[in-house]
Structure 1
Amino acid sequence: MPDTLSAATSTSAVAPGKRHYAILDGLRGVAAVMVVIFHLFEAYAGGDSHRQIVNHGYLAVDFFFLLSGFVIAYAYDDRWGGMTLREFFTRRLIRLQPMIVLGSLIGAVLFYTQAGRYFPLIAATPVWQMLLVMLLGMTLLPLPPSLDIRGWDEMHPLNGPAWSLFFEYVANIAYALGMRRLSNRVVALLLVPAAALLADVAVFGPRGDLVGGWALDAGGLKIGFARLTFPFLAGMLLMRTGWRLPLRHGFAICAVLLAAALALPRVGGVGQDWMNGLYEVGCVVLLFPLIVAIGAGQLEAEGRSVRIARVFGDLSYPLYITHYPLVYLYTAWVVDNGIPQETGAIVGAATLAAALAIAWASLRFYDAPIRRRLAQRFLRARNHA
């Protein structure tokens, strides 16, 4: 299912006079790669998380909401004296929207190649309806169940991971309209009910995990807001309080911790779902803030690990928003044809390589040039001032 990360907030969004947290950008890339691997393994799990080897990749969503809160507060908290709401929203649209458009287009191009027993609705979907879903998907407006042309209850059935960008926009709007004015004490107090809501979904919910958020219904929205609220607020507070944990080899340490947390198989057996939910709440509430604190302890500098982090960071958002149409195709191929795991592993590795290549090409030839031109067109007067 389309549980993936919101990797769209980079420290490249900060003002020109501020330094970048290169390690945090790199961790975004590590999480992006892990979530692609997680999605590829889903093809053999049959929807049973107890059978999935790389199981907790969906927690990358919660990690990136935490990063988003940190980076948005770092980039914009001190700029409101000379920045209007219009400029803020313009900057966010320029950062996010071009790749959202491309992701929806790629999803449309590959849509009919996924038709088969696994996705029976595809063959019955007229082209006009698919094109309508594509155009609406480019706006990031959540689509109702009546426009679910795949059968997975996705608010963006051509490119499922776009659901987390919808919540990214919600967080950005809430921050600009009022959340930015909250004192640290108020933010800290709000974390208590936010953590309770997170635990209600993960520990006391029927699944014992944080999977969900992509469906436009009461249950999906509850999960989505539960996953958004605590980490985003915690990221803001973490940045504002200045809590850092500088360590040597910070990127390597954080990357290992994050990859291990996202790769761990499901905790507890059948009938012990609360144990897995408790593990996931622990990741979101304790481990992920610790990882960000370590990563934030080293600002942009030179060195091999920082150069590697920059590469991962640059590819993270394009990889996130373009990989899932390939996963749809891979999953349908595996299930419809009963592909053995040995063959599937080879093709899965090639799919990962193809996703990375598409992400690089998207960044190099589309996203970066378009964002540069849009910034020159719509932010020129402000930059000159």
Structure 2
Amino acid sequence: MRISSLTGLRGVAAVSVLLYHIPHNPAFAAFAMPIFSRAYLAVDLFFILSGFVISLGYHERVMGRPGWASYVDFLINRMARVWPLHLIVTLVFMGRILLNVSGNQAIDLDAPNVVSNLLMVQSWGWGTEPIAGNSWSVSTEVAAYLLYPLIALIAFSRWAWVQGIAAVALLAMVAASGLGSSGPLDVNDSDTVLTLLRCLAGFSLGVLAYRVADRRWCRALIDRPGGFAAVCALIGVALWLPGKVDLLVVCLMPALVLSCYYDGPAARAAMSNPVSFHLGLISYSIYLWHPLVRDVVARVMTMAHGRGITGMDGLFVVAMLVATWLLCWASYALVELRGHRLVKWLQRRAQRRLDVREATI
């Protein structure tokens, strides 16, 4: 089940992360945009969205028919969605490091790093590093997938309120750790379990949001004329406030997800339009590929400066955005969709072999 406003919201979040990351390369430092200075929180929105959307699509399948078969099928479906692109991006980034394509070779390609990245467990707190930098969050989401039955079991029990308090408390602990790079919640270090806890907390909030989505009081509060605009305004004000307000912003995000789920006219206009929806479809590719495109274009621009070609930096930024879009569109069609089909085909083939074997016993 796909709700277009939720897909568009994912696209807006991915582009926000892209624009936030542009000035992280010193060559593009002049293109920092204050409005995106806290867009690292879009990653927390991804975690919340993931918990909500996975519950929307899989809760009945996993929790309605609990058992090993439904759990394995759920995990295979999730890995079919995320692993093929993660594998290709990781291999490309390994080539980038070996060939020093972008002029930045910061990660050792030793056995622990390579194996943990191929298995998507690189950011679970034992010190291995993500080869493709943004893949740290995808790695932590894999842990959330593994724990989904437990998270959902608590979220749909009388102890849901405890889970909500615990999730907020975990985010508060992450924010208070002092490990955030651009802000209190911007914790993604490889040698701390707080990175993983950041994901699990956000994911849990998303599952809890799904639990209350169809409650009468929740709809009365959010699914009303002006509800989407009011939620966006509250988040905008929270982002504008000075000081350490990351936790407040993240606590408002479940309401944004719910307002998109209700799919009112304003949410559809902002998130279901062709541009937002298209960006949502390719958002996973945008999220993983854009640092490589940025760094390659930055190196080309630096080489151009060395040859006396100046005054065209803005054009290089535009070229980077267009190249990112084209690459990610192709990546979605050729890697994400085909990779998903391949994994599902392998699953069906393995199941047929198992059925034949059982029939002959």
Same-fold call, TM > 0.5?
yes
The 5 A counterparts of 1:253-272 are 253=229, 268=242
Out of 181, 198, 202, the position equivalent to 2:153 is 181
The 5 A counterparts of 1:197-212 are 197-202=170-175, 205=178, 208-212=183-187
Aligned counterparts of 1:132 and 1:331: Cα–Cα separation in 2: 30
The structure-2 alpha-carbon separation of the partners of 1:249 and 1:194, relative to structure 1 and needing over 3 Å to count, comes to closer
Partner of 1:138: 118
Q: Deviations over 1:117-166 (max 9, x none)?
A: xx3658xx7xxx489956653332317999xxxxxx87113x10110011
The structure-2 alpha-carbon separation of the partners of 1:166 and 1:206, relative to structure 1 and needing over 3 Å to count, comes to closer
SS of aligned partner of 1:78: helix
Contact 2:50 2:206 in 1 (8 A): yes
State whether structure 2 residue 138 is matched by structure 1 residue 156. no
Contact 1:22 1:310 in 2 (8 A): yes
The structure-2 alpha-carbon separation of the partners of 1:57 and 1:79, relative to structure 1 and needing over 3 Å to count, comes to same
Out of 140, 146, 160, the position equivalent to 1:167 is 140
The structure-2 alpha-carbon separation of the partners of 1:114 and 1:22, relative to structure 1 and needing over 3 Å to count, comes to same
Aligned counterparts of 2:329 and 2:237: Cα–Cα separation in 1: 26
Aligned counterparts of 2:303 and 2:35: Cα–Cα separation in 1: 21
Aligned counterparts of 1:335 and 1:105: Cα–Cα separation in 2: 25
Out of 180, 203, 207, the position equivalent to 1:236 is 207
State whether structure 2 residue 223 is matched by structure 1 residue 246. yes
State whether structure 2 residue 77 is matched by structure 1 residue 91. yes
Alignment RMSD (CA, Å): 4.1
SS of aligned partner of 1:211: coil
Which 5+ residue runs of structure 1 have no aligned equivalent? 1-18, 147-152, 269-274
Aligned counterparts of 2:157 and 2:167: Cα–Cα separation in 1: 15
State whether structure 2 residue 30 is matched by structure 1 residue 61. no
Structure 1 position 90, deviation (Å) = 1.1
SS of aligned partner of 2:121: coil
Aligned counterparts of 1:284 and 1:186: Cα–Cα separation in 2: 22
Aligned counterparts of 1:145 and 1:173: Cα–Cα separation in 2: 16
Partner of 1:34: 16
The structure-2 alpha-carbon separation of the partners of 1:174 and 1:38, relative to structure 1 and needing over 3 Å to count, comes to same
Contact 2:117 2:130 in 1 (8 A): yes
Aligned residue pair count: 332
Contact 1:73 1:239 in 2 (8 A): yes
Give the AA of the match of 2:203: F
Out of 343, 347, 351, the position equivalent to 1:378 is 347
State whether structure 2 residue 190 is matched by structure 1 residue 216. yes
Aligned counterparts of 1:156 and 1:206: Cα–Cα separation in 2: 17
Partner of 2:278: 311
Aligned counterparts of 2:205 and 2:57: Cα–Cα separation in 1: 16
Aligned counterparts of 2:41 and 2:82: Cα–Cα separation in 1: 21
SS of aligned partner of 1:212: coil
The structure-2 alpha-carbon separation of the partners of 1:299 and 1:239, relative to structure 1 and needing over 3 Å to count, comes to farther
When structure 1 is superposed on structure 2, of 237-246 and 356-365 the one drifting more is: 237-246
Structure 1 position 249, deviation (Å) = 9.2
Aligned counterparts of 2:89 and 2:166: Cα–Cα separation in 1: 35
Which structure has the greater CA radius of gyration? 2
Contact 1:31 1:258 in 2 (8 A): no
TM-score normalized with structure 1 length: 0.72
The structure-2 alpha-carbon separation of the partners of 1:136 and 1:365, relative to structure 1 and needing over 3 Å to count, comes to same
Contact 1:45 1:52 in 2 (8 A): no
Contact 2:49 2:206 in 1 (8 A): yes
Structure 1 position 184, deviation (Å) = 4.0
Aligned counterparts of 1:289 and 1:325: Cα–Cα separation in 2: 31
The structure-2 alpha-carbon separation of the partners of 1:105 and 1:255, relative to structure 1 and needing over 3 Å to count, comes to farther
SS of aligned partner of 1:205: coil
TM-score normalized with structure 2 length: 0.76
Contact 1:145 1:155 in 2 (8 A): no
Contact 2:22 2:28 in 1 (8 A): no
Aligned counterparts of 2:322 and 2:237: Cα–Cα separation in 1: 23
The structure-2 alpha-carbon separation of the partners of 1:28 and 1:254, relative to structure 1 and needing over 3 Å to count, comes to farther
Aligned counterparts of 2:118 and 2:208: Cα–Cα separation in 1: 32
Aligned counterparts of 2:254 and 2:310: Cα–Cα separation in 1: 36
SS of aligned partner of 1:323: helix
Out of 283, 287, 302, the position equivalent to 2:249 is 283
